Amino acid sequence: MNIDHLVKMANEIGSFFVTANDEDTAAQLIADHLKRFWDPRMRKQVVAHLAQGGGGFTPAVAKAVAKLG
């Protein structure tokens, strides 16, 4: 899947969780959501993207993706 699309989707999910929570709590909730609902290949792509210095993630989403790795 296109990494730009995955980053956009992750940020959209993140925006839902950030509105009602502090950043650390939101990051955990986002990571939990990605673990439950995203295909392992999708998770692997965003983890690799972040590890290679890829950007585009909001701060809470970046923390969530780091938790997946």
In a domain, 47, yes or no: yes
In a domain, 65, yes or no: no
pLDDT value of position 19: 87
In a domain, 32, yes or no: yes
**Overall number of domains in the chain:** 1
In degrees, rounded to 5, the angle at the alpha carbon of residue 63 between the alpha carbons of residues 14 and 56 is 65
Domain membership of residue 27 as a residue range: 3-60
Per-10-residue mean pLDDT for the chain, 69 residues long? 97 93 94 98 98 96 96
In a domain, 10, yes or no: yes
pLDDT value of position 23: 92
Decide if 28 contacts 64 (C-beta within 8 A): yes
Decide if 57 contacts 11 (C-beta within 8 A): yes
Predicted structure pTM score? 0.93
In a domain, 67, yes or no: no
Query: Which two structure tokens, joined as six digits, stand for 10?
Result: 């992750």
In degrees, rounded to 5, the angle at the alpha carbon of residue 38 between the alpha carbons of residues 42 and 43 is 35
pLDDT value of position 69: 86
